[in-house]
Amino acid sequence: MRPFTVFERLSKAFHDYPSLSRILVVSTISGGGLMAYSEVNGSYSNNGVETRTRKKKVVLLGTGWAAASFLKSLNNSSYEVQVISPRNYFAFTPLLPSVTCGTVEARSVVEPIRNIGRKNVEMSFLEAECFKIDPESKKVFCRSKQGLDSNGKKAFDVDYDYLVIATGAQSNTFNIPGVEENCHFLKEVEDAQRIRRTVIDSFEKASLPGLNEEERKRMLHFVVVGGGPTGVEFAAELHDFVNDDLVKLYPKSKNLVQITLLEAADHILTMFDKRITKFAEEKFSRDGIDLKLGSMVVNVNDKDISAKTKGGEVSTIPYGMIVWSTGIGTRPVIKEFMKQIGQGNRRALATDEWLRVEGCDNIYALGDCATINQRKVMEDIADIFKKADKDNSGTMTVKNFQQVMGDICDRYPQVDLYLKSKGMRGITDLLKQAQAENGSNKSTELNIEELKSALCHVDSQVKYRHLGQFAPLGGEQTAAQFPGDWVSIGHSSQWLWYSVYASKQVSWRTRVLVVSDWMRRFIFGRDSSRI
């Protein structure tokens, strides 16, 4: 849900690695990210006959970012793709906080999944939820969201040749009692729509007769749990919605509304630069958003939320609505599958650098449901050297190395990223620099120690290239942070935010809709009809 990861994911998928014959994906994990790519051709490109007679069936679970990237990148007509997901659309999730308050309409951020993907790849979709993966029989077991009334059949199974798991994650409640039952989450479009209705409901309820001031205040007390970018953006959106639009229609509620943000850490937006954190905290304080830092939620019931300070003191606050936004957890189907394959104690599916789920054949996982155990260059340095040193002379030329460079970059994407991050045009620069540092002569021959020295830093490279991150703070102000310690806060960043988000839409339709929603909001404000 980190706004800018979108930009990164897509731009990386399409610009940095335009090789479309690969299953190319970018996956993010909380607190950082990884990018890797994999090639499914390998295993059966040597079986030309079968390829021609029967298409291999790729079953893709999910219609989120990872699944959409996969579909957009797969350009090989020898596969047929069967997508299975309970949602028949892709949603531009970074705009969900905007949907909660009607700044953008729900329908403007969704695109039917059948419209995503390339024309030459046969693709079909099943609106169903996978509840079990059986790697033995190469089947997934699914059930339709809606009861199929005929014959009472709901569950069915689907065979696969290759399985791509991109089911994403779910909100993490940390098993805190009452959270599941009483809080709103902000993962799906339906969540955002429900939040919007609940906000309006709260104002309507608080306008009814027969209530005392305390009850009205409780109904209009909106609590946000989690000071990450999503929670902060939602709090800011809600503040704008209330102050720009709702107080005009519900003037009596003006002095009763309160927004509180609870954060367990000492600051909000901790993954951002300190200047942004400081600006955001000061702005929220000016806006009257009550920031309760160092507050760990311990219990929620239908009217009150209890939080413990670091000193151990528990305070209980009455609330009207809670939005819970504290990060992601594992979906049950993935948990179950991890148990089956001996990864039961993990948080996400472990894959190798080809995104193959470890311990499974022909199963790939990507996105929020997976983490990549990337192979290290330095561990394989002897093999790499051997491959380049074709004549087994104990030394290799730069030219030798260039010849195997493509394979190495495929397998160890950190090499390529490292070169880019250092502003080098190719491996030659790296080898030359290493030779220069080691005081070697200008010979084009390297031994294994020189190669080790040249590549010693590449494994430290975070493969997920951080292009930047936004945190909208309300009042047409956004904080933005880009690599190289560049921080921008204010109205200009808001316009940058508008441009980036408009440009990153998956279709022209959604782009036009999102931009026209923004224009509509500028002119007419947000709608508060309870539909």
Which residues sit at the interface with a second copy, rule CB under 8 A?
87-89, 102, 105-107, 110-112, 114-115, 124-128, 144, 146, 148-150, 153, 156, 158, 189-190, 193, 200-201, 204-205, 207-211, 215, 218, 249-250, 302-303, 508-509, 512-513, 516, 520, 523-524, 527-531
Give the shortest CB-497-to-a second copy separation in angstroms: 23
- For a second copy, which is the closer residue by CB, 178 or 329? 178
Between CA 411 and CA 418 the distance in angstroms is 14
Give the shortest CB-243-to-a second copy separation in angstroms: 16
- For a second copy, which is the closer residue by CB, 207 or 444? 207
Give the shortest CB-334-to-a second copy separation in angstroms: 23
Give the shortest CB-222-to-a second copy separation in angstroms: 16
- For a second copy, which is the closer residue by CB, 115 or 492? 115
Between CA 143 and CA 132 the distance in angstroms is 10
Give the shortest CB-273-to-a second copy separation in angstroms: 36
Kindly give the residue spans of alpha helices, DSSP state H, lying in 12-63: 48-53
Give the shortest CB-302-to-a second copy separation in angstroms: 7
> What CA dihedral angle connects 417, 420, 422 and 425, to 10 degrees?
130
The CA–CA distances, whole Å, from 108 to 35, 117, 505, 509 equal: 28, 19, 10, 8
DSSP state of 113: G
- For a second copy, which is the closer residue by CB, 39 or 527? 527
Between CA 221 and CA 211 the distance in angstroms is 15
Between CA 213 and CA 316 the distance in angstroms is 19
- For a second copy, which is the closer residue by CB, 203 or 412? 203
CA geometry: angle 303, 304, 306, nearest 5 deg: 160
CA geometry: angle 468, 469, 472, nearest 5 deg: 150
- For a second copy, which is the closer residue by CB, 86 or 329? 86
What residues have CB less than 8 Å from 390, skipping those under 6 apart? 396, 400
Angle between helices 427-437 and 413-421 (to 10 degrees): 70
- For a second copy, which is the closer residue by CB, 149 or 383? 149
Give the shortest CB-218-to-a second copy separation in angstroms: 7
